[in-house]
Each structure stands twice: as C-alpha cells, then as structure tokens.
Amino acid sequence: MVGEPPVPAGHEARVADIQAALRAGRVPSATLARLEATRDGRMPWVATLTPAELLSVRSHGLRPLAAIAATCWMHYGWSWTEGHAQGWNAALARLKEEAKAVGANAVLDVKMRTIPLGIENSMDFTLIGTAARVEGMPPSNDPIVATVPALEFVKLLEADIVPTGIAVGAQYDWLNDWAGNTNQIYAGNVETTVLSQFWERIRQRAHAELRRNAAGQGNGVLAHVNFGQLFRIEANDQKQFLGRQIVVATTVDTPRRGKAAGGPWDIGPKAGPAIPHDIGIVVDMHAGGTPLTGRARHHQSYGSNERDGAI
C-alpha cells in the first residue's frame, strides 16, 4: 500500500481523550476501561513477573492484577538535567493513578525505560510495572511503587522494609573560567581544586535534593543510579564547564532500631525482625545472573553509567 493511510477509526477522539486525561491527572478512558475490566475479573490478569516470582508472591498473598505503564515525554528548553526530575516525577504520579484504577496496593517490578526514538532536545520517561493487591487489604489511595523485582520485594517485606517509591535528585551548574583557574601550569601532581569544588557542589546539591524528594515517601533510600557528566565547552576564547549529576533511588520505609533494641552495633540474630524461615548461604554455580541477584538490566535510561558501578 502506498500513500497516505486512512486515519484509523476513533483515533482522533482517542488521542484527544489521552491528552485531556493526562492534563487532568486522570487515566485515559481506554486504559481505564481495560484496567477496570481486569480488576473485576472480566479480563485476564497480566503480570511482568516470572513464574518463580508468581509462586513467592502467591505464598505471600500478593495478587498480580495488571501490567501498567506511564510515560512523560519532556522537551528540554530550560535544563536537560532538571527535566529528569520533572519527567520521572510526572511519570510516577501517572503510574500511581493507573495502580489506583486497578485497585492495587503496590506496583512491583517497576522498570525505568527510555524509548529509543532520537528526537532532539527531548527524552521520554517511561515506567512499566505490575500492579498487585495484597489479599485482605483494601485498595490503597497512595499505592507504593517498588522498583525491585517481586522476589526482592518479598525479601524486603519479610525484613520489615517496605520499598515505597522513586526519589530523584538532579542538579547541574556552569563554571565560567575567565581567569584561567583550571589551567595546568605545574606539570607535577596537583589537585585541580576549582574543578573539584565545582563538582562537589553539584553532587552535594543533587544528593540534598534526593533527600528532600525522598522525605515525603519514606525514611531511607537505596540509590541505584548515580549518573554524572562533566563537559568542557569552549566558546569565545572562554573556557566553560558544565557539570550535571542525576541520582535516582528507591525509597524505603523501615522502622529504625534504637539503643533499646541492642544499640547500633549490635547486629546479633535477635536484633532484626523475625524472618519466618531459614536463610541459607549458597555458592551459586549458575554462571548468569539469577533472579535473586537482580542483575538483569532493570533500568536502561542511564545505561552509559554502568561502568561507574551503580549500586
């Protein structure tokens, strides 16, 4: 077939509905209808979980409901770096709306994705996960968002640690080196203090923002992305540096053990919560990653940062 294709039936109305719904913070109608049918059992449930995860999820009373997703496509007119915080936060809010629509308490196995369509000065922020309901609990008004696979989610729950959401700290700054402070005059070993300090300021600000962003969601974070870039840009005979730091973390909520529980250095077996079964230590002869090590690539939005040893 050659030439302009006919516009599929209902397309214009559907797109208008999607845009209106997203602006109003609602779930688009077509998705809502499907999620409600899934919630009521009129459509099959859909889970990104593996069967091994299904098994442990069943043993812990978590029912998978629907694979849900949210996207926010940002254009960076102002700041590429800060766009990341805005983009992920918008996607997170939309994901929670879908989770609520399907009657979930939690979204498991949430993956951060970027769709590879190279469109200038823009990037999409996509979250995909499985909405699940805890048996015997009413649906939540503020479902938790767990970036860990279901097996790790259960493992954390047993230790009384609840993964609750995603926190982002994204900061950048420019350094105009008109005085030539970064020029290397001395040929020996010497710290480039100006750059060190510049870099450290940005990183501290990014981490401070991460803390602020996390505070509303839990009392701790497990940082899994630490993405930093430092550029030297030369224009009009002036040296400029751009530094940007993006930290993305899973927030967790866990009761703190005080002195009464044995003091901060007492990590004896009685200190932690009781886990209802044995913990074994194994030498895993399987060469590849296992579901438990969670080494399968879970997030691909900051892939180039992997060799830096993200946690």
Partner 1 sequence: MPNDIPVHARERLKGLRTAAHSTGVFTSDFSVNEFLLVRKAGFEPIGLCMGTCVYHVGYQFGSWSRNQEMEVLSRAMYHARELAMARMRAEATAMNADGIVGVKLTIKRLEWDEHLLEFIAIGTGVVHGEGHKGFRAHDGGPFTSDLSGQDFWSLLHSGYRPVEMVMGSCVYHVAHRGMLAGLASAGRNVELENFTSAMYEAREIAVDRMQAEAQAAQAEGVVGVDIHEGSHVWKPHVIEFFAIGTAVVPLAQEILPEKIADPMLVLSVND
**283 belongs to the binding site for partner 1 (CB under 8 A):** yes
Window contacting partner 1 (CB under 8 A); options: 230-238, 242-250, 253-261, 288-296: 288-296
Shortest spacing between CB 153 and partner 1, in angstroms: 12
Crossing angle of helices 80-101 and 29-39, in 10° steps, is 40
* Residues 106-135, interacting with partner 1 (CB under 8 A): 113, 115-120, 122, 124, 126, 128, 130
Determine the straight-line distance between the first and last CA of the chain, rounded to whole angstroms: 50
User: Residue 218: CB partners within 8 Å, gap ≥ 6?
Assistant: 162, 164, 165, 251, 252, 253, 254
**3-class SS of residue 106:** strand
Q: Taking a C-beta distance cutoff of 8 angstroms, is the pair 127, 111 a contact?
A: yes
Window contacting partner 1 (CB under 8 A); options: 21-29, 100-108, 220-228, 245-253: 21-29
Among 137, 233, 275, 296, binds partner 1 (CB under 8 A): 275
Name the phi and psi angles at 147, rounded to 5.
-80, 0
Per-position x/- string for 162-191, each x denoting binding to partner 1 as judged by CB under 8 A, each - no binding: ------------------------------
> Which region holds residue 160: left if phi is over 0, alpha if psi is between -120 and 50, else beta?
left
| Cβ distance to partner 1 smaller for residue 73 or 177 | 73
Amino acid found at 267: I
Shortest spacing between CB 124 and partner 1, in angstroms: 6
**309 belongs to the binding site for partner 1 (CB under 8 A):** no
* Residues 28-87, interacting with partner 1 (CB under 8 A): 28, 30-31, 34, 38, 43-52, 54-56, 58-59, 64, 67, 69, 71-79, 82-83, 86
Amino acid found at 82: E
Shortest spacing between CB 163 and partner 1, in angstroms: 17
Among 92, 102, 131, 154, binds partner 1 (CB under 8 A): 154
Among 89, 240, 290, 305, binds partner 1 (CB under 8 A): 290
Cα radius of gyration rounded to whole Å, the chain: 23
Size of the site for partner 1 (CB under 8 A): 79
The total of other beta-carbon atoms located within 10 Å of residue 139's CB is: 15
Distance separating alpha carbons of residues 96 and 94, to the nearest angstrom: 5
| Cβ distance to partner 1 smaller for residue 46 or 230 | 46
The total of other beta-carbon atoms located within 10 Å of residue 190's CB is: 9
**8 belongs to the binding site for partner 1 (CB under 8 A):** yes
Distance separating alpha carbons of residues 204 and 208, to the nearest angstrom: 6
**274 belongs to the binding site for partner 1 (CB under 8 A):** no
